[in-house]
Amino acid sequence: MPELPEVEIVRQGLSPLVTGARIKNLVLRRPNLRFDFPARFADKVKDTRIENVARRAKYLLFELSSGQTILSHLGMTGNYRFFVPEKPGAFEKHDHVVFELSDANIPSAFLVYSDPRRFGFMDLIDDHQNCNFLKNLGPEPLSNHLTSNLLRKRFASRRGPVKTVLLDQHVIAGLGNIYVCEALFRAGINPATPAKNLSASPDGATGEKLEALTRSIRAVLNEALEAGGSTLKDYRQVEGQSGYFQHRFAVYDREGEPCHNPHCNGQIERVLHSGRSTFYCPACQT
């Protein structure tokens, strides 16, 4: 599933292409994705302009001139592509949503949402503050709101493994399995550590661990953004390129391989937390 870096890369790719464009028509090539489309979706967005493309956590937000916002989640295999067709009807099997756009420079272009497994979804929202998908999300991990003190407070009552707690979008928004595994490795924290143990004291060893974790989360996300995200199976950028951060994984999807730390003789292990694969080095992450 695309995580924060991948969704942000898609946003960056879409923004210059579609900002200011008018939605001439919206074609829904099936009645639903993961959920049904909003009632009268096509009628409500027709002839509006896309004023801005934003992101919150793993959601893309197309802000419209009508004051409404198209909320889009990519699910497991969703992707967008933008093109000016050489001939009408140049669409593929899994192209489920087609935005026909126009602006002063392009009389007709298409923004297409494709999703082979259809785990993504779209909604049309009036108010970000009252949207069920957005209103209870935690802070953005690349914002100034993410501090070791915030983690200490949010971990204080959580008995579950820190790996599972970090995946909770109410704690921090946008983190997923890949980057949590990588951040915990860099911070030297065993993923099975109860989160509350890390908040036991704002000083000393636990304070240092939370500082290291805060730095590691930011660092791994920024490096992934610079590398264009991680492509494991389906993720592609708007122009079709793959990401490259998967070539820098220290632990994720490396079960049985040697640890990259030069002074470590350990091997990467895989365990399950809440049904999700967790990769870590038991020698480095004690």
CA distances from 165 to 38, 175, 192, 253 (A): 32, 10, 10, 20
Q: In the chain, where are the structural domains located?
A: 4-130, 148-280
CATH no., domain 148-280: 1.10.8.50
CA distances from 36 to 33, 89, 121, 209 (A): 6, 24, 8, 44
**Per residue in 25-46, pLDDT tens?**
999 999 999 999 999 999 999 9
Closest CA to 9 of 202, 221, 193, 159: 221
**CATH 3.90.226.10: does it fit domain 4-130?**
no
- pLDDT at res. 236: 60
CA distances from 233 to 77, 79, 96 (A): 8, 12, 19
Among 56, 211, 276, 282, the active-site one is 276
Active-site residue 3, yes or no?
A: yes
The CA-based diameter of the chain, rounded to the nearest angstrom, is 66
Indicate the pTM of the whole model.
Answer: 0.91
Among 2, 5, 161, 191, the active-site one is 2
Helix, strand or coil, per DSSP, at residue 117 = coil
**Per residue in 76-131, pLDDT tens?**
899 998 887 665 556 788 999 999 998 756 677 899 999 999 999 999 999 988 99
Among 3, 6, 8, 100, the active-site one is 3
Report d(CA 262, CA 174) in Å as an integer. 31
Q: Which amino acid is at 139?
A: P
Over 70: is that where the pLDDT of 217 sits?
Answer: yes
Q: Which amino acid is at 264?
A: C
Tell me the two tokens of residue 163.
């790996």
Tell me the two tokens of residue 73.
């989640």
Q: Which amino acid is at 13?
A: G
pLDDT band at 158 (very low <50, low <70, confident <90, very high): very high
Give the DSSP H/E element, type plus range, for residue 81.
Answer: strand 79-83
Active-site residue 2, yes or no?
A: yes
Neighbours of 40 (CB within 10 A): 10
Q: Which residues, in sequence order, are CB contacts of 107 under 8 Å at separation 6+? A: none
Closest CA to 22 of 61, 54, 48, 51: 48
Active-site residue 276, yes or no?
A: yes
Residue with tokens 């409404």: 68
Residue with tokens 């661990």: 209
Is residue 95 within 8 A of residue 102, CB to CB? The reply is no
Average pLDDT, the chain: 91
In angstroms and rounded to an integer, the radius of gyration of the C-alpha atoms of the chain is 21
Closest CA to 91 of 105, 111, 120, 117: 111
pLDDT band at 274 (very low <50, low <70, confident <90, very high): confident
**% of the chain at pLDDT higher than 70:** 89
Among 11, 58, 152, 209, the active-site one is 58
- pLDDT at res. 79: 92
